[in-house]
Structure 1
């Protein structure tokens, strides 16, 4: 038996799996995690994923406003692609993280 598998067996015997029940609209699912940190990371990703689409569309709106303000990058394929896809993706990830830290994290702590 290798040292890596031995540590894995020792850690598995010492720590029990952490479970989380997720209630969906129709059914309840039970998820098992190796540790509490894994459970918290999944929960954070689950909470943030609901806001990806609205914030992505907000980035599309920013692109439209830039176009209406006179920034027309359709003549340059490289910059048009970078700005056209980069702004919505950046707003999606940045705003969901800000939203999570300002609103969701505070409600979980209290």
Structure 2
């Protein structure tokens, strides 16, 4: 993933100001977990997850990977509600999901 113009990608990543979830398969040969973690360091509101025993195509590889991918995505998109917690700043209504 980072074989191209690395500095250009990282500069663009620093401009992202919405929550981003990076999900990788444990055995992903196309986009490694290490590559995603590099982006995670440059995207301020990011989180990272790994789907065990799967490759690049996450939810298409087997039923457990599909279930785990869905659970991770839903947890990201619908975090637990806490009465005293402000989830987002006013005007911030979008999430981003990177696979």
Q: TM-score, normalised by structure 1?
A: 0.27
Higher relative contact order (CA 8 A, sep 6+): 2
The structure with the greater share of residues assigned to strand is: 2
Q: TM-score, normalised by structure 2?
A: 0.30
Specify the structure having the higher radius of gyration (Cα): 1
